[in-house]
Every structure is written in C-alpha cells, then in structure tokens.
C-alpha cells in the first residue's frame, strides 16, 4: 500500500494531472523563449513549470517563486499571462531572472541585432580592454591571471566594455548576460579552454540566439502585459517586505529550493579543475561576498542539517503567511539521502503550516509521490560522493486545514508597488 493511501488527494482534472506528470518527467534540454540566456544550476523544465501554472492558475493570477534561481517560473508565468514575483538571496539569480523577464521593445531588439553584427570586431587581443580595478581588489579576478587564461579574461573585459556602451541600463543588462553566458561556456568546468576565435564566435551566436529568444517572449506575452517583480533578499520574513504591499495572495507557489545535503555551486564557476571563481558576479555587475552555505541554506556538513531545516521552516512559514487557503505549493526537491531527509523535510513543512497532497493517478505507485530521474546530473554530496544522476521529487502542499479545491481564485493586482 502506498504512503498516499488515506491521505488527502489533490482535486485536479485528469488532463492537468497528466500534463503535470509528463512535464515533471520531461528530459528534453531546457530551451525556448529566454530560458537559454544562462545555465543556472538545478533548473527545472519549462514544460513542468508551464504545466503547473496551467493546472493551478488562470490568467491574471499571481505566481510566487521564493527561490527563483534562473527565473524559469517567472518566464513561463509571464508568457502564460500570470503576474509573478521572484525572490532570491543571490544577486546573480536576481540579475538572471530580471533580464530573462524583460520584454524588450522592437527598437531595442533591433539595436541588439545590430550590436551582434558589430561585436566580433570588439574582441581582439591587440585592442584595449577595461580592467575593473574595484572588482580585482575584491578578488573577482581570482584564478584568471594564469598565462592560460589571460586572453579569455581580456575578451570578457572587451565584451563587457562593448555591452556598457549600449547606452541604457536595459540594453547593458542584456549585453552583460550575453557575456555571462559566453564566459560560462568558456570557463566553467572546462578541461580545455577555447581559443579567442572560438570565444568571439560563440559570443556573437549567443547574442543572436538571445535576441531570437527575446523576440519569442515579446510575441508570447499577452496583453495587458502581466507584472513581474524580482526581489533580492531571503524569503524568510518576506511577508513584511514593503515591496509586496498591494499584491494579493499567490494562487500558486512554484519553486525548487536548495537541496538538503547536496553541494551545488550557485554562486561560483569551477575553473582549472575545481578552483572556484566568483567571476559571474563581476560580469553581472553585482557583488557576492558570501560562502556556499549562504546560498544552500546551511552547511551540508552541519549535524543533521539543522541549519538547513531551520531555514526551510523560516522561509516556508513566510510563504504560509502570504498564502491563501487555496494557494497550491509545488516544489521540486532532491536529497542526498532521502531515507531520513524526506521525512524531515515533510515534518518541517508541517511545522510551517502546510499539509501534503497527493496526485490521484499516483496513489498506488511507490510512495504516491511524483518522482523523476535526472540522467547525467552530477551532485556532490557527503553521503555518496560524486554521483552520475539524481532523483528529484515533486511535493505538493496546501495550508493545513484548507480543503482541496480545483476552483481557481481570481487574483488581481491592487495598487501595485511602483517598482513592480
């Protein structure tokens, strides 16, 4: 008998349930709209995000992702005509999510297309580049001064200089993101570094591809255009943030929190083996200054992950304070050791005020939950060391004491905050 037997079942239409299950188990590469702007770690599939949004919301509703990461939830919500709020403790995540959800005008996109054609001439070993002295003094050039990498460092500086010359904050943000994606391809986890010609070619192709994605997003977003707000902060205490004044309760909370016991580098690239480089923050024009446990909600070596679960309780308690009785919370989570971490996670959710719900179609499978295998994904965990894959589970919750219901609540924006 499955764990879900006798447990509350989610009231969901059969078609929406099938789409959600298939979306969660979708193994296709992330693509479409602006999703390819940057490869943020632990992204979930846009197909899954869209399925969840269509299953639990309708146009005009509000979707919240309080661990927004690469912004997948926000992009899909925007394209589906839903308002969206994204929150993340990382300034890099804020930057990526913001540029991915910016709807550029036709004139801006034409400017960026022209920039793509001129860009290769800006990358040349004999041309001058901007050296960002303030960032250098703070260590953001770490591991880039080696003889094998100084050409790529100069190319990155030249690309950033060209992006800055685009002249407006919105265009510069786009240009910086193109350099960010190219530098990630050139340096992160690379055994063999690309040539300057390869870098130049990839950068131009990246800008051209990003412009296509931005055009696709512009075309997909319905009128009137939904509001998307990205907030840089911890989700703990979010209910008291002045920037949320005027927003009503989210109809859906869709997120993928840091995975307990799993080491994921959200804030660094690995260059020259496993040397951690904070370069992505400099390229984005942001500041970092924090260790990995800051972004993963606690050191995975801490006994029983006490800090992690304390932080999960704090963030989910804040979500509970923002949620309505009919708000659905959907999370994609993985564990280094699910045997004890999954029960502890569910216990923490209960303490935060939530009750787990199960999909009717899976009531007789395994433990009744929606699991998926992620081939080729490599996590670094204390229990298993380096592993070739990972199992992720979709957890569905609603506030404790509320009755499962398919009836959508119309959520509108009332006196939106000026920064929205």
- Condensed to tens digits (0 to 9), the pLDDT of residues 34-66 reads 999 999 887 789 999 999 999 999 999 999 999
Q: Would strands 328-334 and 252-255 be described as parallel, antiparallel, or unpaired? A: parallel
Tell me: do 155 and 198 sit in the same domain. Answer: yes
Strands (E), 133-206: none
Residue 54 belongs to a domain: yes
Q: What is the pLDDT of residue 293?
A: 62
pLDDT tier for residue 7 given thresholds of 50, 70 and 90: confident
Residue 3 belongs to a domain: no
Residue 173 belongs to a domain: yes
Sorted by sequence, the CB contacts under 8 Å of residue 138 that are 6+ apart come out as 287, 289
Sorted by sequence, the CB contacts under 8 Å of residue 139 that are 6+ apart come out as 278
Alpha carbons 267 and 325: distance in angstroms, whole number? 35
Structural contact between residues 174 and 165, judged by C-beta atoms closer than 8 angstroms: no
Q: What is the pLDDT of residue 381?
A: 40
How do residues 338-377 score in pLDDT, each as one tens digit? 999 999 999 999 999 999 999 999 988 889 999 988 755 5
Tell me: do 155 and 36 sit in the same domain. Answer: no
Tell me: do 72 and 112 sit in the same domain. Answer: no
Residue 33 has pLDDT above 90, yes or no: yes
**Residue 40 CB burial class (10 angstroms; 0-12, 13-18, ≥19):** buried
How do residues 163-216 score in pLDDT, each as one tens digit? 999 999 999 999 999 999 999 999 998 889 999 999 999 999 999 999 999 999
Tell me: do 208 and 163 sit in the same domain. Answer: yes
Q: How far, in Å, are 103, 182, 280 from residue 267 at the CA level?
A: 26, 16, 8
Alpha carbons 71 and 198: distance in angstroms, whole number? 28
What is the dihedral sign for C-alpha 345, 349, 355, 358?
negative
Residue 405 has pLDDT above 70, yes or no: no
Domain count, the chain: 2
Tell me: do 62 and 193 sit in the same domain. Answer: no
325: domain CATH number?
A: 3.40.50.150
Tell me: do 40 and 176 sit in the same domain. Answer: no
Sorted by sequence, the CB contacts under 8 Å of residue 247 that are 6+ apart come out as 62, 83, 85, 413, 414, 416, 417
Tell me: do 257 and 354 sit in the same domain. Answer: yes
Tell me: do 199 and 339 sit in the same domain. Answer: no
Tell me: do 200 and 156 sit in the same domain. Answer: yes
Residue 7 belongs to a domain: no
Tell me: do 110 and 68 sit in the same domain. Answer: no
Nearest to 60 by CA among 312, 412, 382: 412
Tell me: do 243 and 337 sit in the same domain. Answer: yes
Q: What does the pLDDT average to over 292-309? A: 72
Residue 228 has pLDDT above 70, yes or no: yes
Tell me: do 240 and 197 sit in the same domain. Answer: no
Q: What does the pLDDT average to over 144-157? A: 89
Q: What is the pLDDT of residue 388?
A: 32
Domain residue limits at 168: 106-220
Residue 130 has pLDDT above 50, yes or no: yes
Average pLDDT of the chain is 88
Structural contact between residues 17 and 360, judged by C-beta atoms closer than 8 angstroms: yes
Residue 184 belongs to a domain: yes
Structural contact between residues 331 and 354, judged by C-beta atoms closer than 8 angstroms: no
Residue 280 belongs to a domain: no
pLDDT tier for residue 29 given thresholds of 50, 70 and 90: confident
Query: 375: helix, coil or strand?
Result: strand
Residue 282 belongs to a domain: no
Query: Between 136 and 303, where is the model more confident?
Result: 136
Query: 173: helix, coil or strand?
Result: helix
DSSP designation for 306: H
């Amino acid at each position: 008998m499955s764990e879900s037997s006798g447990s509350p079942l989610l009231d969901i239409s059969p078609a929406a349930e099938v789409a959600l299950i298939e979306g969660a188990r979708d193994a296709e590469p992330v693509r479409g709209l602006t999703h390819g702007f940057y490869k943020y770690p632990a992204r979930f599939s846009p197909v899954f995000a869209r399925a969840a949004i269509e299953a639990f919301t309708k146009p005009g509703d509000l979707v919240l992702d309080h661990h927004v990461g690469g912004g997948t939830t926000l992009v899909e919500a925007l394209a589906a005509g839903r308002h969206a709020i994204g929150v993340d403790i990382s300034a890099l995540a804020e930057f990526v999510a913001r540029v991915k959800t910016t709807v550029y005008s036709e004139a801006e996109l034409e400017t960026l297309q022209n920039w793509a054609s001129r860009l290769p001439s800006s990358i040349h070993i004999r041309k001058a580049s901007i050296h960002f002295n303030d960032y250098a003094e703070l260590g953001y050039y770490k591991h880039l001064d080696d003889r094998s990498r100084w050409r790529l460092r100069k190319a990155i500086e030249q690309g950033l200089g060209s992006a800055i010359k685009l002249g407006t904050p919105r265009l510069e943000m786009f240009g910086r993101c193109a350099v960010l994606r190219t530098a990630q391809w050139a340096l992160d986890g690379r055994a063999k570094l690309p040539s300057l010609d390869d870098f130049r070619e990839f950068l131009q192709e990246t800008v051209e591809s990003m412009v296509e994605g931005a055009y696709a997003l512009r075309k997909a977003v319905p009128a009137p255009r939904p509001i998307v707000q990205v907030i840089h902060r911890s989700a703990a205490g979010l209910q008291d943030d002045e920037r949320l004044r005027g927003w009503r309760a989210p109809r859906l909370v869709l997120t993928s929190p840091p995975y307990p016991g799993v080491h994921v580098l959200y804030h660094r690239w690995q260059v020259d083996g496993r040397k951690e480089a904070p370069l992505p923050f400099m390229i984005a024009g942001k500041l970092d200054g924090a260790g990995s446990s800051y972004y993963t909600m606690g050191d995975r070596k801490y006994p029983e992950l006490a800090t992690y679960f304390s932080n999960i309780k704090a963030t989910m308690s804040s979500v509970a304070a923002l949620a309505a009785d009919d708000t659905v919370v959907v999370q994609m989570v993985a564990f280094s050791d699910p045997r004890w971490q999954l029960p502890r996670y569910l216990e923490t959710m209960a303490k935060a005020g939530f009750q787990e719900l199960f999909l009717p179609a899976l009531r007789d499978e395994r433990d009744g939950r929606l699991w998926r295998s992620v081939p080729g994904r490599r996590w670094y965990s204390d229990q298993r060391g380096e592993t070739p894959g990972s199992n992720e589970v979709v957890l569905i919750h609603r506030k404790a004491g509320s009755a499962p219901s398919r009836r959508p609540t119309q959520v509108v924006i009332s006196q939106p905050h000026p920064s929205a």
